Amino acid sequence: MSKIEQNNQNPKLNLEKLKKLVDDITKSALAEGKEILYVSEILKALGKCGFNLDEMMYKLTNGDRQNVENEIRNLALSCANQALESLNRTDI
Amino acid sequence: MLKLFAKYGRIADIHNLFSNLKFFFNLTDVNYMNTLCEIYFTNFLSEEEMVKAKVSDLLCETQIEEETLEEDFEEESPVNSFLKVIEETIKHSSEDVSLELIKENIKANGLNPENYTKEELICFLNDTACTIIERMIHDDKELSDLYNSTDLETISEDCFFRKFNSNNINCKLIYLVTLYMLCSTGYLNKTLDTYLFARSKINPNKTEALLLSFLEDELSRR
């Protein structure tokens, strides 16, 4: 199979699952009093949950790229909206 | 501003601004964003983005100003030529300068405004906004000294750690630099929204204000 054909395969990354796991990892860290997590720590914790991003590296498809890019843009947009709402509520 | 970056910006710029604003967001979102960006940068950076990132790293190492890069990579925008013509027009006019006179002089200098498309005019508006922001930074000695002497990443963290305060000189500089980045994005993507967002936040002098009026007038005819 050519590289182009491989890249056009269906998305492999389950973003819903990834989001849920990051949420769980964050809650566990907060419960331990840890407020800042480095990306390496998140990736390590994801690996322990069976979500090994190292194994997926370079195997992801164009569909994954589009999904990740959309997710980043949507997350930035939703966070900006939430922050603006909370600033408006506090009348700053 | 983040909303406009989310819509039009490069992923690297979104990540950068998001990181600066992280104290406004909840921790899960911050961690999720960092994970997504890590996946994106490790797997999906296009060759063009890789080259840009590499050149940007090299520039940081050799302390060459980024503007030089943009001048090398992109076609020269006629904004500076427009500004020169408007400056000359103002210099030689005793009364208020009309848009018609500016248009005539621009044509007389071999720059026919009718040759420019809607997209090009949007680029010029964003470019002019960038020029104005740069000038605003350099006109203010305190801001200019800070810009030339400080690592922007450090003051950016400083500024956001202490909560954003528009009276704080660090925050003022970071705000202008971010606004500049936004208009650069608008220039590259040919988006009017970015210029419209920046319009009320920039402070054009007489020449720049006339240039903006001229470009806006041309755009309204397309």
Taking only the tens place, the pLDDT of each residue in B114-143 is 889 999 999 999 999 999 999 999 999 999
Q: Average pLDDT of chain B?
A: 82
Give the pLDDT confidence of A73-90 residue by residue, as tens digits: 999 999 888 877 776 665
Segment B38-62 mean pLDDT: 64
Look at chain A and report how many structural domains it folds into: 1
Determine the pLDDT at residue B73: 43
Residue B9 has pLDDT above 90, yes or no: no
Residues 6+ apart with CB under 8 A from B26: none
Residues 6+ apart with CB under 8 A from A62: A7, A8
Give the distance from residue B194's alpha carbon to the nearest chain A alpha carbon, in angstroms. 15
Measured CA to CA, the distance from residue A28 to residue A47 in angstroms comes to 15
Q: Is A47 on the interface with B (CB under 8 A)?
A: no
Q: What is the ipTM for the molecules in this complex? A: 0.87
Q: Is B31 on the interface with A (CB under 8 A)?
A: yes
Residue B160 has pLDDT above 70, yes or no: no
| Chain A residues inside the 8 Å CB shell of B44 | 60, 64-65, 68-69
Containing structural domain, residue A37: 3-89
Residue A91 has pLDDT above 50, yes or no: no
Give the pLDDT confidence of B29-45 residue by residue, as tens digits: 999 999 999 999 888 76
Determine the pLDDT at residue B19: 84
pLDDT band at B111 (very low <50, low <70, confident <90, very high): confident
Please tell me whether the overall predicted TM-score, pTM, comes out greater than 0.95 for this model: no
Identity of the residue in B7, B36, B43 whose CB atom sits nearest the CB atom of A71: B36
- Smallest CA-to-CA distance from B11 within B39, B30, A19 is with B39
Determine the pLDDT at residue A1: 47
pLDDT band at A69 (very low <50, low <70, confident <90, very high): very high
Segment A56-76 mean pLDDT: 88
| Chain B residues inside the 8 Å CB shell of A76 | 2-3, 5-6, 14, 17-18, 33
Per-residue DSSP letters for B115-138? G--HHHHHHHHHHHHHHHHHHHHH
CB contact under 8 A, A65 and B43: yes
Is residue A20 left, alpha or beta, with left meaning phi > 0 and alpha meaning psi from -120 to 50?
Answer: alpha
Across A29-38, B54-63, B118-127, B167-176, the highest mean pLDDT is recorded for B118-127
Give the distance from residue A5's alpha carbon to the nearest chain B alpha carbon, in angstroms. 16
pLDDT band at A70 (very low <50, low <70, confident <90, very high): very high
CB contact under 8 A, A68 and B21: no
pLDDT band at B1 (very low <50, low <70, confident <90, very high): confident
Segment B135-153 mean pLDDT: 87
Chain A interface disruption, residue of B10, B14, B32, B189, most A CBs within 10 A: B32
